[in-house]
């Protein structure tokens, strides 16, 4: 064999700017269901002396053993455990669980009568006596989700915000006020990170006294954080109308999810028309609210005499008559009306814009307020339910979290007693967070991961690429790569002439088997014939992991064929005390120069262009092919000496060549991205271990990559 150095002469340095994108940590929940109940007698008055032995809770028809039962009133709860049915002495709740958060959410309302009815109902509620622990906020859904008053007990401030929400104020004016309130909330937090994992909520939970006592300051900060969480709405994901409202309501629920205890949303609306394309979005909202323990009360501000619903009733009656005619007929052809009976029935149901807002309320433990020009009585009921309710917990004993709906039931051993509670929840893994919203495409994927049966029905690769190691662990890039040829194509009209539809989900689990990171995507791509044959798409996310051993479980589904692939692999994150680091190399599949609006946090980029990595380890030595390895050097900023890198090629444990790589200066973020390029035809076929070693002063850091050079 000729001297190996001749095969490694051509090296190309490419400069890139990259940064690690952080994602929230997913924490594990205790596998328990929390259920809030309001119990009333036949006259509608609250029952406040219910005993644990009088209550029966069922899930999918099976009676559940209650782990806890308590009557929550103000800052106290009288409880009994599963071991003893007798009520105990009143116990103080933690500072956060004492809180009752009520959000008044206003859609743009119709004429003066509608706005007056909504204003009167809202003012009646905030002026009622509910104790010192009830905090209200006022938001508007108008072009986006806007805050007109953050959580407060100040009735004068609330009245002013309600007036603005119901006065027909223009959207630009409300946007300006909302931005000002958000800026003030951020100022109150002093720049602290906002999110459900923030220390602010933990500190408030341990504040010890009522929100008006010694814990008042930290409770105020927690309320500011929750309000900002509510306003974290992706404006690019919505447009207008019902879609905007559903997205805004979902964000309210997600923002409230981090608070324990009872949360309520009064949704002031003129009704909601839901086309078939929004059914899934609506169902997701209901499921999310139930998991986050958020109760909706829908306020139909149109009062009595709703023409749209009257028309819907007439349309539904016509459909029913046509359907009855069809059933009675024994011979002869069906009329056009008879053929359209089913379609007319569905259209009639959708035309009744009150049905879905009623369903939203009743499915989450609330009720509809409407069909009247005097809303004082139902508003008084809302005030009662905010101030006092029962809370029970139980373990459902689910062994397979398949995303199915688990129907809840509750009954009381008292004559004429009426129990008001949410209707059920979706069985998603408790390890997916406090209140996750799983999209429909994710359900079969997580079921596949839960089953754990390996499958190659869909070809793909998944892996974790360690980036910058440190004393606590390393940043990591999670990659899932799917060859388009492994997916079934669908013929389309227009150009390109075909498409594929693929969904994927990955879970990173620690040594205890707990989920610490999640990646999920649903992609539909239009393709040319050449792309379908030779193309790939890759999904990636970057995050931090502490040192330790991890398992990566990934499922990929071809939505056209229904086939699913599942893989499992392991990787290790090693901590280092050295400030110098080098990322694990990856092969470069392609490079796109001059990418517009390139995300500065994108790891795989250089010179304003984007690198598409591949998890493969094989390079075919065809004409013009090259071995391109991408990695990033992270110099130790405390060392004045420049960093250098050496690439060593070994085979069978024998060193073949050591090639010094002249690094350029670090970029503005202190990193040195690098692409090493060698013509594949100049490398003899075989398997090589490429060792990359960075040196800076007395410190060294290294990594390695195995590559297979295959002949044509």
Among 282, 429, 307, smallest CA distance to 358 is for 282
- Above 50 in pLDDT, residue 382? yes
Pick from 443, 703, 421: nearest CA to 573: 703
If asked whether residues 280 and 386 sit together in one domain, one would say yes
Q: What digits encode the pLDDT tens for the residues 97-133?
A: 567 899 999 999 878 888 999 999 999 999 887 666 7
- Most confident range (mean pLDDT) of 72-76, 520-524, 534-538, 545-549 is 545-549
In contact, 550 and 510? CB cutoff 8 Å: yes
Range 307-310 contact pairs with CB under 8 angstroms and sequence separation of 24 or more: 308/271, 308/351, 308/352, 308/353, 309/271, 309/351, 309/352, 309/353, 309/354
State whether residue 322 is helix, strand or coil. Answer: helix
Two tokens at 490?
Answer: 């669908």
CA gap 554, 572 in Å, rounded: 17
Alpha carbon distances (Å) from 318 to 128, 331, 675 = 45, 21, 70
The pLDDT tens digits for 125-166 are: 998 876 667 899 999 998 889 999 999 989 999 999 999 999
Interatomic CA distance for residues 6 and 15, integer angstroms:
25
- Pairing mode, strands 654-661 and 644-651: antiparallel
pLDDT of the residue at 503: 92
DSSP symbols for 220-245: HHHHHHHHHHHT---GGG--SHHHHH
446 and 421: one domain?
Answer: no
Q: State the pLDDT at residue 17.
A: 22
Distance of CA 481 to the CA centre of its chain: 22
- In terms of domains, do 399 and 472 share one? no
If asked whether residues 168 and 277 sit together in one domain, one would say: yes
- Length of the chain in residues, anyone? 712
Residue 624: the pLDDT is: 86
CATH of the domain at 694: 2.60.40.3880
- Domain boundary among the residues 432, 454, 479 is at 432
Q: What is the mean pLDDT of residues 464-476?
A: 91
Are both 611 and 651 inside the same structural domain? yes
Higher pLDDT, 472 or 331: 472
Q: At what angle do helices 216-230 and 241-256 cross, to 10 degrees?
A: 150
The partner residues of 235 in beta bridges, in order of sequence, read: none
Q: Are residues 190 and 256 in the same domain?
A: yes
Specify if 89 maps to a domain. no
* Torsion sign across C-alpha atoms 539, 545, 547, 548: negative
Q: What is the pLDDT of residue 32?
A: 77
- Alpha-carbon radius of gyration of the chain: 30
3-state secondary structure of 617: coil
**pLDDT reported for residue 217:** 59
Is 502 found in the same domain as 565? Answer: yes
Is residue 85 assigned to a domain?
Answer: no
Q: Where are the alpha helices (DSSP H) in 79-144?
A: 112-127
- Which tokens hold the place of 184? 């003030």
E strand or H helix that includes residue 84: none
- Quick check: 358 pLDDT over 50? yes
The answer as to whether 659 is a domain residue is: yes
Residue 523: which residues within 8 A CB-CB, separation 6 or more?
501, 502, 503, 537, 539
Residue after which a domain boundary falls, among 379, 400, 432: 432
Q: Is residue 326 part of a domain?
A: no
Which residues does residue 506 pair with via DSSP β-bridges, in sequence order? 519, 554
CA distance 660 to 685: 23
Whether residue 584 contacts residue 703, with contact meaning beta carbons closer than 8 Å, is answered with: yes
CA diameter of the chain: 98
Contact 517, 508 (CB under 8 A): yes
What pLDDT was estimated at residue 80? 54
Residues 222 and 104 both lie in one domain = yes
Residue 560, pLDDT above cutoff 70: yes
Residue 268 lies in a domain: yes
pLDDT of residue 105: 95
pLDDT score of 438: 61
CA-to-CA distance for 594 and 613, rounded, in angstroms? 17
Kindly indicate the confidence band of residue 436, based on its pLDDT and cuts at 50, 70 and 90.
very low
For the chain, report the end-to-end CA distance as a whole number of angstroms.
Answer: 20
Any residues with CB less than 8 A from the CB of 273 and at least 6 apart, and which?
Answer: 242, 350, 351, 353
Share of the chain above pLDDT 70, in %: 76
Beta bridge partners of 165: none
What is the pLDDT of the chain when averaged over all its residues?
Answer: 79
What's the CATH number where 227 sits?
3.40.50.410
Beta bridge partners of 304: none
Are both 467 and 525 inside the same structural domain? Answer: yes
Judge contact between 541 and 23, C-beta under 8 A.
Answer: yes
Give strand pairing partners of 114. none
DSSP 8-state symbol, 579? S
Same domain for 398 and 516: no
Is 54 domain-assigned? no
Instruction: Tell me 293's DSSP state.
Output: T
Give the 3-state DSSP-derived string for 392-415, with helices as H, strands as E and coil as C. Answer: EEECCCCCCCCCCEEEEEEEECCC
Residues 6+ apart with CB under 8 A from 21: 541, 542, 543, 599, 601, 602, 603
pLDDT at 9 > cutoff 50? no
pTM score, whole prediction? 0.54
Whether the per-residue pLDDT at 96 is higher than 60: the answer is no
Residues 449 and 398 in one domain: no
**What are the pLDDT digits (tens) for 609-649?**
788 899 999 999 888 899 999 999 999 999 999 999 999 99
> Does pLDDT of 319 surpass 70?
no
Domain termination residue (choose one: 372, 403, 432):
432
**Average pLDDT of the segment spanning 308-337:** 40
What is residue 413's predicted lDDT score, i.e. its pLDDT? Answer: 92
Q: Is the dihedral of CA 417, 421, 427, 430 positive or negative?
A: negative
CA atoms within 13 Å, Cβ hemisphere of 247: 20
Q: State how many domains the chain has.
A: 2
Nearest to 689 by CA among 624, 611, 629, 615: 629
pLDDT in tens, 176-228: 999 999 999 988 887 544 444 444 444 444 444 444 443 455 578 888 888 99
Confidence of residue 415 (pLDDT cuts 50, 70, 90): confident
Cα–Cα nearest to 590, from 568, 569, 613, 573: 613
Whole-number Å distance between alpha carbons of 349 and 653: 73
Domain around 613: 4-24+436-710
Distance, CA of 263 to CA of 36 (rounded, Å): 10
Let me know: does 268 contact 122? Beta carbons within 8 Å.
yes
* Interatomic CA distance for residues 128 and 121, integer angstroms: 11
Q: Clarify whether residues 413 and 451 are in a common domain.
A: no
**Would 315 be classed as within a structural domain?**
no
pLDDT for the residue 426: 66
- Cα gap 24→517, rounded to integer Å: 8
- What is the phi/psi pair of residue 220, to 5°? -60, -40
Structural domain contains residue 75: no
The whole-angstrom separation of Cα 397 and Cα 32 is 9
């Amino acid at each position: 064999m000729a001297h190996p150095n001749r095969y490694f002469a051509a090296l190309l340095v490419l400069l890139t700017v990259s940064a690690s994108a952080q994602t929230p940590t997913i924490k594990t929940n205790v596998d328990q269901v929390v259920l809030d109940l309001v119990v009333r007698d036949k006259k509608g008055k609250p029952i406040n002396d219910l005993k644990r032995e009088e209550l029966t809770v069922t899930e999918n028809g099976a009676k559940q053993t209650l782990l806890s039962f308590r009557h929550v009133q103000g800052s106290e709860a009288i409880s009994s455990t599963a071991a003893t049915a007798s009520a105990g002495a009143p116990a103080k709740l933690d500072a956060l669980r004492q809180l009752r958060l009520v959000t008044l959410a206003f859609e743009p309302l119709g004429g003066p009568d509608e706005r007056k009815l909504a204003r009167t109902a809202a003012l009646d509620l905030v002026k009622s006596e509910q104790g010192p622990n009830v905090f209200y906020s006022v938001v508007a859904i108008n072009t986006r989700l806007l805050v007109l008053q953050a959580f407060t007990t100040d009735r004068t401030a609330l009245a002013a915000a309600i007036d603005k929400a119901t006065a027909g104020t223009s959207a630009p004016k409300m946007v300006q006020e909302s931005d000002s309130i958000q800026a003030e909330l951020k100022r109150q937090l002093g720049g602290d990170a906002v999110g459900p994992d923030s220390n602010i909520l933990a500190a408030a939970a341990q504040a010890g006294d009522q929100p008006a006592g010694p814990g008042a300051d930290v409770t105020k900060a927690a309320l500011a954080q929750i309000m900002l969480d509510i306003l974290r709405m992706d404006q690019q994901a919505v447009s207008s109308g019902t879609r905007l409202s559903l997205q805004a309501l979902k964000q309210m629920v997600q923002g409230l999810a981090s608070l324990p205890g009872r949360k309520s949303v009064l949704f002031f609306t003129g009704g909601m028309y839901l086309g078939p394309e929004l059914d899934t979005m609506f169902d997701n909202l209901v499921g999310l609210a139930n998991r986050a323990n958020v109760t909706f009360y829908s306020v139909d501000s149109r009062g009595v005499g709703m023409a749209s619903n009257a028309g819907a009733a007439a349309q539904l009656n016509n459909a029913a008559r046509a359907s009855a005619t069809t059933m009675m007929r024994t011979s002869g052809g069906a009329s056009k009306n008879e053929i359209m009976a089913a379609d007319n029935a569905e259209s009639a149901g959708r035309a009744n814009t009150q049905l879905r807002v009623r369903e939203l309320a009743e499915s989450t433990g609330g009720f509809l307020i409407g069909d009247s020009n005097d809303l004082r009585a139902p508003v008084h009921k809302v005030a009662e339910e905010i101030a006092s309710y029962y809370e029970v917990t139980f373990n459902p004993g689910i062994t397979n979290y398949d995303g199915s709906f688990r129907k809840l039931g509750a009954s009381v051993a008292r004559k004429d007693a009426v129990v008001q509670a949410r209707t059920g929840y979706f069985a998603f893994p408790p390890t997916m967070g406090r209140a996750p919203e799983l999209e429909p495409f994710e359900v079969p994927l997580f079921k596949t991961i839960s089953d754990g049966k390996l499958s190659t029905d869909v070809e793909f690769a998944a892996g974790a690429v360690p980036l910058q190691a440190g004393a606590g662990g390393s940043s990591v890039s999670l990659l899932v790569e799917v060859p388009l040829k492994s997916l079934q194509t669908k013929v389309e009209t227009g150009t390109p002439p075909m498409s594929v539809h693929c969904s994927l989900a990955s879970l990173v689990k620690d040594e205890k088997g707990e989920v610490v990171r999640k990646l999920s995507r649903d992609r539909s791509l239009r393709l040319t014939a050449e792309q379908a044959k030779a193309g790939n798409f890759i999904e990636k996310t970057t995050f931090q992991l502490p040192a330790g051993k991890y398992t990566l479980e990934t499922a990929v589904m071809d939505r056209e064929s229904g086939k699913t692939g599942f893989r499992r692999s392991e990787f290790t994150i090693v901590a280092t005390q050295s400030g110098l680091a080098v990322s694990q190399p990856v092969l470069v599949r392609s490079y796109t120069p001059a990418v517009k609006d390139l995300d500065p946090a994108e790891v795989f980029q250089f010179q304003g262009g984007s690198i598409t990595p591949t998890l493969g380890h094989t390079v075919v030595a065809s004409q013009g092919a090259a071995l391109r390895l991408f990695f990033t050097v992270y110099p130790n900023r405390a060392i004045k000496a420049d960093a250098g890198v050496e690439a060593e090629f070994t085979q069978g444990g024998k060193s073949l060549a050591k090639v010094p790589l002249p690094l350029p200066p670090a970029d503005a973020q202190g990193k040195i991205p690098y692409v090493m390029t060698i013509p594949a035809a100049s490398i003899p076929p075989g398997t090589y271990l490429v060792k990359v070693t960075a040196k800076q002063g007395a410190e060294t850091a290294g990594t390695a990559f195995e590559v297979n050079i295959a002949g044509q």
